Structure 1
């Protein structure tokens, strides 16, 4: 029997839709359009990816998740961990041909912090000395941004904060040309490796290689990003050769494995989880939270429902960011779950609700979890709502249980600890979890340089959080990419803004 995707592809081929390969243009697809080209408002993954194509930062992430020089050709940190000195390249030009200077850097940072900009990304720079005074109108500049000379910028922080240098590689910290600020919603003002040629909203974005790029320019002449909202359409367009790279939809992984395409698997820096409200009964009881973890067969769900495209989570921090891999804490053990429920006085009569955003695409997974919980006496009703209603409910602490995910902003275990589990981080610690010992470790992690002691503390915090079980720890997802046989050099990174498509070539097949 044909699958719908096969019938769709056959129809396209019958209609003569297979296209001649354009070896000068790399073509990929997004499922939805971007919001614009203003780094100050780059809060979603797609927009962040595009920002990384048309802008540069002081530093960047390479494909292996390491920090690499960008506008700053090198940098240093003093022994207090508070003062950074960046030495700036003198050969960086914006797309309009004007030279990028240190003034552009300080203006870009001031713009993020300026209350008139109303950027949601001020958290990236607010640790700079004087930033809060500037944000509240007590000062007309950020005194921690100091121009030492034409090629050196000094940035002083209120206190040592190890992740700060990684913050500077994020999309919102991109450096903009002040001459183009008024048009940023539709036209970028950057110095990146790709230049925008055209943008047809909800249609496609077309970029050309920046031949004057300070680093080696991209290999292909053009980059086309088509907006194709339907999974079936993306797959069919790849099959006909109209797309060069395909991010395989989860439900189609098995289908594509039978074909002779180049396949690349990326273990993403993320975590899928069930949050439990730890601040009130019944989930303020550790035994119940642990029972919720023991009672689900995650391996079965990954194998059958996720087509193997995930790895079991042993805590919030992905294994790539841990210096040591520990034994799995919560193996499938329904007998242990039943015992814990009895000890906690729940028996087999617990009833609760789980909130999920209606467009999550994972309802079949939730039904499997629901079935596993029911088998040990926990009745869970699934409540679906649109994203905005869901987000508000979770932020206000209404649900006992909720289904969510977290993707790394930067490749550091701290990014899976402080935002999600620090007791006073009210915006992201949605499960109201609080543990003074874990708080203290997280603060140490933020203060220490990236050394063996810091890595040990990240592992310690991860283990303590697993033991405390504020979440049902599910899995870290993987992404499967397919490339056409003529594509060479594609090396996808787990960090969303490290994929700049610069080293990819399209080679004619012999």
Structure 2
């Protein structure tokens, strides 16, 4: 049985929402979109997935936020300064900003929100966002009740001190789990948002839909449309059909369907594309033969015709990867991708003592849509003597195996938590990190480069080191570097003002209008 959560306001508003949510009347001022599965709830401390994080940012605000691209903009913090040593952040907060219950947002509310994430009794998986703050460790260990590095100098001035310089810290404050929570409304936060965002939740039918109304008293610029409905539709075919009959206003086009949508005259002018901050890859277990030999790892890379796979199987919805860091996060152009050169791949295998090839297994999880791509990999590798068995499994089995370091090869992706090249280096390639340990890659030069990057301020020196580290990793080939994918959306012809966003939680649907 489906569970329902209702939020009563004035009677007329209450009745109108029932009518809209039941589908009896199509309200032209309500924007309707779809997601493939339900959110985890409205507690920012538990926002670990893209769907939940995106919805969190509709009903909450942050000190800072991302714009349409990777730029950082003011939000609750109207301005801020960073000390010369890069350790102390001072924020001047907007005195007109209010929560949905019309109480003002104060510096103490930000401190409360950060402490919620770090409080061990809340079991948040997002403590890494704030564990760099002075005193955070002692607070998490129960040694102190306050966090030394957090100070409300007055109601609208907040100081945050971190242990050592870390340039992306300011970006952490724009992430879903850094949302500012109303302390007086946090007791039912899983089901009832305690925020200040441009939308207010009216109705949540678990695994059914979420219905929001415009926050007319929003301290910033309120949405143009009066309502937002998010339907939970697990099947892409269902979403596609609902869009075509006009029941959805925006639809995320699967790569395999892009060509047919671009050929439809009524839709082709309403398709939007955006390069994602991600990387799709196949990790190789670098501690296990034969993948402990860089020649074998390079042979695995140059034996795939990525251009052809992207063109024929993925409708060119991606660009070939030249290392882990997406080009959008590099100051200069990345190195050239690995070329398709099966003859050289065979020579590399021979020089590594594998002239007769070898057998291995590739682990993967996901729906049937990815396996035609995996079978293409299998065919290319088979052509140079590498016999690959594809191990299909559900996500939980896959995750357990990968964490234990069992697979020789595994197919996975990484999406940016925040728009900085460091986010594609430290979590994935520093030897201290669990992600790196999964494929047993270890390089002391890479470790030192990443550690230096983390201490440097934003600027040319840091950018150059990110590019150098990307090149070193690319040449070491601990992964088969595949591509950075592109997302394509289509809107109804009646929709204007839609601009796709680079960062998932910066989309708030506030500037959209129905003609």
Which residue number in structure 2 is paired with residue 226 of structure 1? 231
CA contact (8 A) 1:329 1:466 kept: no
Render the CA deviation track for 1:423-460: whole Å, top value 9, x for unaligned: 11124552121111111111111111111111111111
The whole-number CA distance in structure 1 between the counterparts of 2:366 and 2:503 is 26
The whole-number CA distance in structure 2 between the counterparts of 1:136 and 1:145 is 17
SS in 1 for 2:120: coil
Render the CA deviation track for 1:90-141: whole Å, top value 9, x for unaligned: 1111112222111111111111101001100000000000000010111111
Instruction: Structure 1: give runs of 5+ residues left out of the alignment.
Output: 1-17
SS in 2 for 1:246: strand
Which residue number in structure 2 is paired with residue 491 of structure 1? 499
Instruction: Tell me how many residue pairs correspond in the alignment.
Output: 490
| Residue 190 (str. 1) matches residue 190 (str. 2) | no
The whole-number CA distance in structure 2 between the counterparts of 1:279 and 1:441 is 22
SS in 2 for 1:442: helix
Equivalent of 1:162 in 163, 167, 176: 167
CA contact (8 A) 1:21 1:241 kept: no
Residues 378-457 of structure 1 mapped to structure 2, 5 A cutoff: 378-427=386-435, 429-457=437-465
CA contact (8 A) 1:352 1:381 kept: yes
CA contact (8 A) 1:19 1:241 kept: no
TM-fit CA distance, 1:394: 0.5
Equivalent of 1:504 in 487, 494, 512: 512
The whole-number CA distance in structure 1 between the counterparts of 2:457 and 2:130 is 19
> Which has the larger displacement, 124-133 or 419-428?
419-428
Which residue number in structure 2 is paired with residue 340 of structure 1? 348
Which residue number in structure 2 is paired with residue 91 of structure 1? 96
The whole-number CA distance in structure 2 between the counterparts of 1:312 and 1:387 is 26
Residues 62-461 of structure 1 mapped to structure 2, 5 A cutoff: 62-259=67-264, 260-261=266-267, 262-359=270-367, 361-427=369-435, 429-461=437-469
Residues 4-15 of structure 1 mapped to structure 2, 5 A cutoff: none
Instruction: Structure 2: give runs of 5+ residues left out of the alignment.
Output: 1-22
Which residue number in structure 1 is paired with residue 43 of structure 2? 38
Equivalent of 1:469 in 469, 474, 477: 477
The whole-number CA distance in structure 2 between the counterparts of 1:330 and 1:250 is 23
RMSD: 1.3
Render the CA deviation track for 1:151-179: whole Å, top value 9, x for unaligned: 11110011001110011110001010112
Task: Check 1:130–1:327 CA distance in 2 against 1; reply closer, same or farther (3 A cut).
Answer: closer
SS in 2 for 1:179: helix
The whole-number CA distance in structure 1 between the counterparts of 2:367 and 2:375 is 15
Equivalent of 2:490 in 482, 491, 504: 482
Please, what TM-score do these two structures have when normalized by structure 1? 0.94
SS in 2 for 1:116: helix
The whole-number CA distance in structure 1 between the counterparts of 2:333 and 2:66 is 24
The whole-number CA distance in structure 2 between the counterparts of 1:123 and 1:270 is 20
CA contact (8 A) 2:357 2:384 kept: no
| Runs of 4 or more above 4 Å deviation | 18-21
CA contact (8 A) 1:354 1:403 kept: yes
CA contact (8 A) 2:28 2:514 kept: yes
Render the CA deviation track for 1:284-321: whole Å, top value 9, x for unaligned: 11000000000011111101111111111111111111
CA contact (8 A) 1:53 1:193 kept: yes
The whole-number CA distance in structure 2 between the counterparts of 1:189 and 1:361 is 38
TM-fit CA distance, 1:493: 1.0
SS in 2 for 1:367: helix
The whole-number CA distance in structure 1 between the counterparts of 2:387 and 2:474 is 24
TM-fit CA distance, 1:327: 3.9
The whole-number CA distance in structure 1 between the counterparts of 2:436 and 2:124 is 18
CA contact (8 A) 1:359 1:387 kept: no
TM-fit CA distance, 1:19: 10
> Which has the larger displacement, 90-99 or 168-177?
90-99
SS in 1 for 2:289: coil
SS in 1 for 2:70: coil
CA contact (8 A) 1:26 1:224 kept: yes
